[in-house]
Amino acid sequence: MRVEKVLAKKRDGRALSRDEIESLISGFVSGAIPDYQMAAFLMAAYIKGMDAQETYVFTKAMVESGEVVDLSPIEGIKVDKHSTGGVGDKVTLVLAPMMAAVGLKVAKMSGRGLGHTGGTLDKLESIPGFNVNLTREQFIKQVSDIGIAIMGQTEEIDPADKKIYALRDLTATVSSVPLIASSIVSKKVAGGADVIVFDVKAGSGAFMKSLDEAKVLAQELVSLAKNFGKQAVAVISNMNQPLGFSIGNSLEVEEAIDTMRGFGGADLLELCYNLGAQLMVKAGIVPTTQEAMGKLSEVLEGGRVLAKFTEMVVAQGGNPEAIEDPRGVLPHARFIEEIEVATAGYIRSINAEELGVAARYLGAGRTKLGDQIDYGAGIIIPKKAGDYVRPGDTLAQMHSNDPHMLAATSGLVNDAFEITAAPHEIPPLIYEIIE
């Protein structure tokens, strides 16, 4: 295959054949096709798009570039979820034990945070001792024994996506629907679950800034996953403000624990209930989402969700005292600075992306892979969009071990809040369910 001919074909907006796509992916993974040719392809695909058949073949070739996890030794229905990335998004920490508590099996591979969005592995690693590097045998055994395990994605899973994503990040080709959908679905298919819920974010903190764009992505994710024989559904949710009250690793674990105890923020719980109910219906363990919600509040209020989370923490070597006493045991920053409200009014919006970037400056995130994270760093926002605030109220609390960064970041945090004299209608958290 002449790679430049394939590039010209995509540049001119023509669809590629199965052979051409498969050769492109296998050649890139083996090193026969250099970065500059793949970068040219990605830009052409970004501009000209890929049709449904091309996207399917592209995704399949990515799945086949590595190992597909065989979850068949685990009895029961295996469920998975994927978020397109948000700020303050600690959903997995609550949703995964919720699903295990209702009897579904959660064999979940998660990622690390990059850019302004956080990652589940970093949050879990803020619990002293928590091990995300399980062997395949440990992973399967733990899910069989207690119904839940969360580990890091291994090098063997979807190596094509790792290499391609690294290039997309550097070539301004991330926000393309077929490229995002193939990247996400290839990892989920390789992860082996039967039922998948996609948590597609729309708004200032998300890849998809508008609801229309998010809908297109959600439809593509669901139909692509179904083409691989998966049960799939997407929930489109509002990422025009951070989810919950905290951004940053141990701060988010603390909030997740509070939520599992019944004291969490309404938005986090609402999203977990919606995602969980969709999974339960698609898995066929309840007939309606209403019934699913009833079951979910039963397990949450009965303490079974927190008990599952604790079982997982113990099984993966984490210190369970972090759950009993998160403020005492989880890492915390030495310096805390408050930003106060200057003028009374209603919070109209809280720019999630700006707060995500600010939390990264404070130490909570990475600029590039391999950067050290400060687990205690982050931001707490006690007030949310729609709330009325008075001068002197705390708008945000910044946590960091770097006093210079606190001073340098406070303007950015302050500017993330838009406060107006008159109240505004606040958009709903859940926009739409795409089946």
Q: Which residues bind ligand URA (CB under 6 A)?
A: 84-85, 165, 174, 179-180, 183-184
Of 376, 418, 419, the C-alpha closest to 398 is 376
Burial classification of residue 137, based on how many CB atoms lie within 10 Å of its CB (0-12 exposed, 13-18 middle, 19 or more buried): exposed
How big is the chain by its Cα radius of gyration, in Å?
22
Pairing of strands 78-83, 195-202: parallel
Active site residue 161: yes
Closest chain position to ligand URA (CB): 183
Closer of 68 and 174 to ligand URA (Cβ): 174
* C-alpha span between 65 and 382 (Å, rounded): 45
* C-alpha span between 128 and 141 (Å, rounded): 22
Active site residue 10: no
Distances in whole angstroms, Cα of residue 101 to Cα of each of 95, 106, 218, 309: 10, 10, 27, 9
The one catalytic residue among 90, 163, 168, 399: 168
**Three-state secondary-structure class, residue 42:** helix
Active site residue 297: no
Closer of 16 and 157 to ligand URA (Cβ): 157
Q: Which two tokens stand for residue 259?
A: 């939520």
The one catalytic residue among 89, 161, 267, 374: 161
**Three-state secondary-structure class, residue 304:** helix
Active site residue 82: yes
Torsion of CA 36, 39, 41, 45, to 10 degrees: -170
Residues 6+ apart with CB under 8 A from 245: 88, 255, 265, 380, 381, 382, 384
Active site residue 267: no
* C-alpha span between 94 and 267 (Å, rounded): 13
The one catalytic residue among 78, 82, 163, 215: 82
CB atoms within 10 A of CB 9: 16
**Three-state secondary-structure class, residue 389:** strand
Closer of 181 and 300 to ligand URA (Cβ): 181
* C-alpha span between 238 and 328 (Å, rounded): 33
Q: Yes or no: say if 395 and 381 are a contact pair by the CB < 8 Å rule.
A: yes
The one catalytic residue among 23, 110, 183, 246: 183
- Catalytically active residues are 82, 161, 168, 183, 187
